[in-house]
Amino acid sequence: MAARVTQILDRSQHEKLISEAHTSGKPTVVYVSNSSLPGCKVFTPKYEVLAERHPEVQFLQVDYCRETSDLFKFAPNQLPVLVLVKGSWAKTIMSADISELEEGIKAMLEKKEG
């Protein structure tokens, strides 16, 4: 795991970090993955590189497993899922398309709260 990506391991950590993203307005990306899926195996290193390029954004990752599956309403065959949050603004990306994520990050950073 890249140093700039925080791994979410349980519900309390998830709730704390997402609440902080909403209240602080800090741009945040949540990557819901499953380390056994081929698409996630290919996408994860790209996500980690993107995290290194954007220190102004908080990058989180949740491995969809028995312990975390109740945090999301996604099925494993829908993964990966990316959720971008900045205050009350949010966007969901349902693909492993790094260029779509880059566009989403740009839009999120340009979004003014108010």
Distances (CA, A) of 1 to 63, 71, 96, 111: 12, 21, 18, 29
Q: Cα–Cα distance between 114 and 103 in angstroms, integer?
A: 21
Query: pLDDT tens, 59-85?
Result: 999 887 665 555 555 555 667 889 999
How far is 48 from 46, CA to CA, in rounded Å?
5
Specify whether the CB–CB gap between 9 and 61 falls below 8 A. Answer: no
Domain that holds residue 92: 5-110
Q: How confident is the model at residue 54 (pLDDT cuts 50, 70, 90)?
A: very high
Most confident range, picked from 50-59, 72-81, 90-99, 105-114: 50-59
CATH for 24: 3.40.30.10
Please state the pTM of the whole predicted model. 0.85
For the chain, the domain total comes to 1
